[in-house]
Amino acid sequence: MSDELVLSAQGLTKSYGRVQALRGIDLEIRRGEVLGYLGPNGAGKTTTIRCLLDLIRPDGGTLRVFGMNPQEKSVEVRARSGYLPGELQIDPNRTARAALRYFNALRGNNVDWAYVNELSERLQLDLKTTIKNMSHGNKQKIGIVQALMHKPDLLLLDEPTLGLDPLMQREVLRLICDAKAEGASVFFSSHIMSEVEAVADRVAIIRKGVVVEEAEPTSLINRAFRRASVRFKQAVDVEQLDKVPGVRVLSRDDGTSVLLQVEGEMENLLKALAALPVIDFETERPSLEEIFLAYYEDEGQEV
């Protein structure tokens, strides 16, 4: 990954009538970086991606892709980008091969067809089948091939593994990693935390049109709360642990074991436990999914 900025958005806003889809998005992606874009439905993920390709026009903010304004240099930006829409629609009367040939023609016939065949083989996509006879997953494979076939510098993937079986999901993640290895930047939205955790260099969590968190997955996990499981030699009064700053008792048994959630430093908890007959103490960090769900829960509470 280099320091070269491929994509930057500052204060990006977009409204659909009275609905504010984006309320000031700030984002950056560098060359060779994979950014996982997480958020619940309607958070603004697709709107952000569509602004980058000039499919829709933002109301405010600054947007630069490869240093260019997509509204002024849309053709140049798209020539270097590969896009997989969240709701992929392709002419159903064509075969997969005919559809890809059409997309190749729109790119000026500069695609290496051997690479198209390689991608199709990796995804087990039969190019001879007519699209209307394909399953959702196979249509999604066409979408992935068309996004990757010209080896773009920037990949914009809106839920790339949607509708794919686990084996194919893994293959798509490999393709993303391969693209990254060749220097491409990848911006992909997803609901599946494990895949984001597996391939993303950074994660941005969007909620109600605002990026509420942006960090490396490991840093996000380290910064978040963790769980502590404690066993005692004999029953103790666990209520005193509930009063420790940053500590919340999640479950308790007969006083001989307790599950705690700890936010921030462990120092206060360790001091409190020092006065108790502890025989076992384990901590675990939450998965990215749990962190993401915590943002969801916050949203639910607000609603």
* Residues making contact with another protein (CB under 8 A): 17, 46, 50, 53-57, 74-76, 78-79, 81, 83, 85-91, 102-103, 105-108, 143, 146
CB of 10 to another protein, least distance (A): 21
- Name the phi and psi angles at 9, rounded to 5: -130, 135
Q: Which is nearer to another protein, 79 or 212 (CB)?
A: 79
Least distance to another protein from the beta carbon of 84, Å?
9
Residue placing its CB nearer to another protein in the complex, 52 or 230: 52
Shortest separation between residue 285's beta carbon and another protein, angstroms:
37
Which is nearer to another protein, 92 or 183 (by Cβ)?
Answer: 92
Q: Calculate the alpha carbon distances from 50 to 18, 44, 214 in Å.
A: 19, 10, 20
Residue 262 CB, nearest approach to another protein (Å): 43
Pick the closer one to another protein by CB: 106 or 250. 106
Nearer of residues 153 and 197 to another protein, judged by Cβ: 153
Least distance to another protein from the beta carbon of 91, Å? 6
Least distance (Å) between residue 156 CB and another protein: 8
- Between CA 143 and CA 172 the distance in angstroms is 11
Q: Which is nearer to another protein, 46 or 190 (CB)?
A: 46
Q: Quick one: which of 47, 2, 46, 54 has its CA closest to 28?
A: 2
